[in-house]
Amino acid sequence: MAEDKLAEQEYALAHPPKKWVPGMRAFGYLALVASSFAVGTAAMGIASYFLQKYGNIFNVQRYPDMYTMHTINLALFNGIWTMIICLGAWALPLAFLAFLVFSATVMWAVIGGIFTVHVPFVKSGCSASSAKWARFVGQCKYYISLDALAWVCFALMLIWFVILVADIIVTKRKRHYLLGE
Per-residue model confidence as pLDDT tens digits over 7-50: 777 776 666 666 556 677 778 888 999 999 999 999 999 999 99
Closest CA to 116 of 54, 108, 4, 157: 108
Name the burial class of residue 72, with classes exposed (0-12), middle (13-18) and buried (19+) by CB atoms within 10 angstroms of its CB. buried
Give the end-to-end CA distance of the chain in Å, rounded to a whole number: 27
d(CA 7, CA 29): 34
pLDDT band at 1 (very low <50, low <70, confident <90, very high): low
The reply to whether 4 falls in a domain is no
d(CA 14, CA 127): 65
| pLDDT value of position 15 | 64
For residue range 90-141, list pLDDT tens digits in order: 888 888 999 999 999 999 999 999 998 888 887 667 777 777 878 888 888 8
**Which residue type, as a one-letter code, is found at position 129?**
S
User: How many CB atoms lie under 10 A from the CB of residue 7?
Assistant: 10
Looking at the 3D structure of the chain, how many domains does it have? 1
The reply to whether 176 falls in a domain is no
Q: Enter the pTM of the model.
A: 0.82
The reply to whether 142 falls in a domain is yes
The reply to whether 157 falls in a domain is yes
Domain residue limits at 103: 44-170
The reply to whether 17 falls in a domain is no
